[in-house]
Amino acid sequence: MNRINHVAIIMDGNGRWGKKKRKSRNFGHINGINVIEKIVKDSIKIKIPILTFYTFSTENWKRPKKEISFLFKLIDSYFIKEINNLVKNNIKINIIGNINILPKKIRLRLTESMKRTRKCKKILINLAINYGSKNEILRAVRKTKNKKGNVSIKKFETNLYTKGIPNPDILIRTGGKKRLSNFLLWQLAYSELYFIDKLWPDFTVIDYRKILKDFKRVKRNFGNI
């Protein structure tokens, strides 16, 4: 039976869900946070040590400015409200992606949240913010080339945002799309992929548990016969 160390999630469908409810895309983003909290809580319960959520991609800058502004305000207000609970519940927050070009206020909030939770050990939550896998790989190539010695996979991986973090065992994508959308392209090489038709705000703990149960029965070959 396969052990689950790391689950990565593409939370697709928030905007469409909001429109489906005859409200705004932002209404979908608000409800999407509730699902994140439920999945985190259940993962703690069943002792999954790492979750990674695709929160804001490098391509998301193409969205309307009002929606982008709302997303950053939502992230900012969440950490203002919940940071003490995160520390209390021993939840570590880590940001992967280039946060240097984010608005100063959200950049400082994310940095402070990582600092406040750095000693927490119950679960690691990676939030991919201003993250794009192609950019990450190029960044790692440049950093690896600048070091002495031969290039190796091990050396290359030390220059990824996910340095020291095991690769995902499972990728879950909601929203009905069957693509990776520039997310963890290197790290997902041998992950099991689950594409779900439900929009993210409709995704439930029951759906989550079904995927985990199925994964435990999968024969993983990692490129071997």
Active-site residue numbers? 12, 60
Closest CA to 87 of 53, 47, 114: 114
DSSP SS3 for 211:
helix
Q: Which of 211, 223, 160 is nearest to 2 (CA)?
A: 211
Q: Which of 20, 99, 87, 86 is nearest to 55 (CA)?
A: 99
Say how far apart CA 92 and CA 117 lie, in whole Å. Answer: 5
CA–CA distance, 92 with 122 (Å, rounded to integer) = 8
Strand 6-10 to 192-195 pairing: unpaired
* 224 in Cβ contact with 207 (< 8 Å): no
Q: CA-CA distances (angstroms) from residue 120 to 57, 58, 123, 128?
A: 26, 28, 8, 19
